[in-house]
Chain A
Amino acid sequence: GQNIDQPTEMTATEGAIVQINCTYQTSGFNGLFWYQQHAGEAPTFLSYNVLDGLEEKGRFSSFLSRSKGYSYLLLKELQMKDSASYLCAVRDETGTASKLTFGTGTRLQVTL
């Protein structure tokens, strides 16, 4: 099975940098995904890591350390529209259909 932990809530200031951590313990691992979910909306895909290291995509970056069971999502130059929940999800190595197990999400509030 999978166990995924991430902080419940975080607050940061517009223009700042915030790091959202995710730790996992899994029976199998085949990649880690980050999703963004605005209130009342569906999750949208942000990033994917399967190898150790940093993946950068504009203002967002995601890091993975497989040996430590650890990932983080880094958001730079925060904007008010970044206020949302951020979901960490691990892909099961053993399963079919790219099955994902999600953490409970981190609600980020960006303030002025």
Chain B
Amino acid sequence: DVKVTQSSRYLVKRTGEKVFLECVQDMDHENMFWYRQDPGLGLRLIYFSYDVKMKEKGDIPEGYSVSREKKERFSLILESASTNQTSMYLCASSFYEQYFGPGTRLTVT
């Protein structure tokens, strides 16, 4: 079974803090993705990566950056968290269909 894990299920941070969200997959997938999910807006792609050190912007990359130093790990970074980044963050990996991690519910106060 594919397993995608995320470092935290719930996270509370203050405005202006630097936030790291970690994602690890165990299926040797080349492709990894970060989404945020908000009520009424669905899943929106922030960034994705198709190889180590390779990344591409998704639909809403502003305010975020990513890092992929190893194939199994894809990190999402909020350089200076803001309240409008309060959301559910989902990581996924794929060879073809995407497998999702359990999600991190981030609250920025």
Contacts and interface: CB of A to CB of B under 8 A. Distances in A.
A112 interface: no
B39 to A, nearest CB: 9
Contact of A97 (B42, B50, B101): B50
A42 B9 CA distance: 11
A41 B102 contact: yes
Residue picked from B35, B58, B96, most chain A C-beta under 10 Å: B96
Interface residues of A, number: 20
Contacts of A103: 42
B31 A102 contact: no
Contacts, number: 56
A45 B56 CA distance: 23
B26 to A, nearest CB: 15
Contacts of B50: 96-97
Interface in A74-112: 87, 89, 95-105
A41 B100 CA distance: 10
A60 interface: no
A13 to B, nearest CB: 26
B100 A42 contact: yes
B107 interface: no
B87 to A, nearest CB: 14
Nearest to B49: A97
A33 interface: yes
